[in-house]
Amino acid sequence: MDSRARRLRVAAPPPTARDDELLARVARGDQESFAELYDRYASVVFGVIRRVLRDPTQSEEVAQEVLVEAWRIAARYDPERGSVRTWLCTMAHRRAVDRVRSEQASRERIERIAHDQHNAEGDVVSDAVTSRLERQQVRDALGTLTDLQREAIELAYYGGHTYREVSELLGAPLGTVKTRMRDGLIRLRDAMGVSA
Amino acid sequence: MTADLHTLSGAYAADALDPVERQEFERHLAACESCQQEVRELQATAAMLAAASSEAPPTGLKDSVMAEIDQTRQERPLVADDLEARRSSRRLEPISRRIIGVAAAVLAIAVVALGATVVTLDGRLDELRATSEQLQALLAAPDTQTLALEGPDGIVGRVLVSRAEGLAVLHATGLSLLPAESDYQLWVIGEHEFVSAGILGVDDDGSVTHAIRRGLSSAVALGVTVEPAGGSPQPTSEPILTADLST
């Protein structure tokens, strides 16, 4: 770490600092707070990117981009619009999806999906140790959805597909897919007691 | 109409919109409070799906990230109070950069649009020439009036009308794109009847310019309805936009 970085350093964040306090410190250039933020959320960021991209090397690249972006635009975070975790997840997921779409013609991915879907079966809960309870909660909540709701959400969120692609994959009309994605997420929201 | 856009909140939260739709929805989002609330909640829900996939990153990642942030300049916060003071110097930099970003995005869209449009360019040119001639006629007519289109928030429109010329031109922006099975249809509304003035060809940016050449002498109003694709002989729904010609 060079001298400039040392000068920027302020008192270490208390380990109990709330996420938004931590991010406020990050916005002021505090690298130690950023390190703490990393420890809290790198697994979630990396996990969702890997879920969408699958390739570990690419996932690591994109995770680095997202985390550095979080550092760069920390001052833009607005607590009114959601938690720090949601902010990071939204950035990570969107970046992963953008990468996947820029890389492959959608046609190609549609042809690949039957295979992928097979592998993805039952993969919602992976091996990492963090927050077992939350995984269980998500799995239970997904279990309350209709097949179409669940498939539409999984193909879009974990598969990185547009709803048009999902419509083609499921052989369901566009309007139906659009609606199922929305009412499925609303049902998940209620099942998990999510508030923004 | 907007109800159609509302239902995209789920697909938006799941990042399942293509870039054009994403932009369109974000424009809608900026103005729609109920969608903002819903999107906040659905994004938080999606974040739970993300959390359920969490996986420890490779051990080297933290060092690489820490090394890179050490070399990365942070964006300044947007502070309303400071705006005046900063406008002269520092704020200019990110703003100009943002404008360049927007310009690049617009250019990219324009390039794509150009490819698609080139085929129909001749037809469009004829249309534009016709519109231009109609507008000239309206500007020259002694009795031309400008009337506002009444309708839902977000749609802004005017009608230029000259009874002497028997001509009107409607222009509106902010129209939602309809699904393939529907069209906007314009009606000249008389004391006792509705007469179709054609299907509105709405551009991808939600704007439309449309000339009306018939039935204006006895018209009391103009109305726009949503009809099955291709239009109807008589309106099948309430007008969503109207202009009062009776004054």
Residue A107's pLDDT is 47
What is the number of CB-based contacts under 8 A between chain A and chain B?
207
Which chain A residues are within 8 Å of B53, Cβ to Cβ? Answer: 44, 47-48, 50-51, 124, 126, 158
| CATH number for position A145 | 1.10.10.10
Number of domains making up chain A: 2
**What is the percentage of chain A residues whose pLDDT exceeds 90?**
65
The backbone torsions φ and ψ at residue B58, rounded to the nearest 5 degrees and listed phi first, read -55, 145
> Are the CB atoms for A136 and B51 separated by under 8 Å?
no
Are A63 and A141 in a shared domain?
A: no
Q: Chain B interface, mutation test: which of A23, A67, A97, most B Cβ atoms within 10 Å?
A: A67
Cβ contact B16–A162 (<8 Å): yes
Predicted confidence (pLDDT) per residue in B158-209, tens digit: 898 888 888 899 988 888 888 877 888 998 888 878 888 888 888 888 888 8
> Are the CB atoms for A155 and A170 separated by under 8 Å?
yes
> Are the CB atoms for A36 and A23 separated by under 8 Å?
no
Are A9 and A65 in a shared domain?
A: yes
Cβ contact A44–B45 (<8 Å): no
Q: Is B45 an interface residue toward A (CB < 8 Å)?
A: yes
Residue A50 lies in a domain: yes
Which chain A residues are within 8 Å of B16, Cβ to Cβ? Answer: 156-157, 161-163, 166, 181
**Neighbouring residues of B114: CB distance < 8 A, sequence distance ≥ 6:** none
Mean pLDDT, chain A, whole residue set: 83
Are A15 and A86 in a shared domain?
A: yes
Are A84 and A134 in a shared domain?
A: no
Residue A120 lies in a domain: no
Tokens describing residue A59: 């996932």
Are A15 and A106 in a shared domain?
A: yes
Are A41 and A73 in a shared domain?
A: yes
Are A69 and A145 in a shared domain?
A: no
Residue A31 lies in a domain: yes
Q: Tell me how long chain A is.
A: 196
More confident call, A80 vs A185:
A185
Are A61 and A150 in a shared domain?
A: no
Q: Which of A49, A81, A110 is the last residue of a domain?
A: A110
A62 sits in which H/E element? helix A56-72
Residue A160 lies in a domain: yes
Angle, in degrees to the nearest 10, between helices A106-120 and A163-170:
60
Residue A15: count of CB within 10 angstroms of its CB: 7
Phi-psi region of B169 (alpha: psi -120 to 50; beta: other; left: phi over 0): beta
ipTM of the complex, rounded to two decimals:
0.82
Closest alpha carbon to A182 in B152, B226, B25, B27: B25
Which chain B residues are within 8 Å of A166, Cβ to Cβ? Answer: 16
Predicted confidence (pLDDT) per residue in A47-75, tens digit: 999 999 999 999 999 999 999 999 999 99
Residue A10's pLDDT is 52
> Are the CB atoms for A38 and B62 separated by under 8 Å?
yes
Instruction: List the domain range (segments joined by +) for residue A44.
Output: 3-110
Looking at chain B, list the stretches that DSSP marks H as alpha helix, in order from N- to C-terminal side. Answer: 2-6, 9-13, 19-31, 33-51, 60-70, 83-87, 92-117, 121-140
Min Cα distance A8 → chain B (Å) is 10
Q: Is B16 an interface residue toward A (CB < 8 Å)?
A: yes
Cβ contact A153–B49 (<8 Å): yes
pLDDT-derived band at A129 (thresholds 50, 70, 90) equals very low
Cβ contact B52–A89 (<8 Å): no
Give dist(CA A148, CA A154) in Å, integer.
Answer: 10
Torsion of CA A140, A145, A148, A153, to 10 degrees: -60
Are A42 and A93 in a shared domain?
A: yes
Per-residue pLDDT at A81 exceeds 90: no
Residue B100's pLDDT is 65
Q: Which of A77, A110, A143 is the last residue of a domain?
A: A110
Residue A16's pLDDT is 77
A108 sits in which H/E element? helix A106-120
Query: Sign (positive/negative) of CA torsion B147, B152, B157, B160?
Result: negative
Are A65 and A97 in a shared domain?
A: yes
Report the range of poorest mean pLDDT among A14-18, A102-106, A119-123, B134-138. Answer: A119-123
Give dist(CA B211, CA A18) in Å, integer.
Answer: 60
Min Cα distance B92 → chain A (Å) is 17
The residues of chain B scoring below 50 in pLDDT are 1, 81-93
Q: Which of A110, A139, A161 is the last residue of a domain?
A: A110
| CATH number for position A76 | 1.10.1740.10
Residue A119 lies in a domain: no
Residue A116 lies in a domain: no
Are A61 and A155 in a shared domain?
A: no
Residue A5, SS3 per DSSP: helix
Residue A51's pLDDT is 94
Give dist(CA A125, CA A139) in Å, integer.
Answer: 8
Residue A80's pLDDT is 87
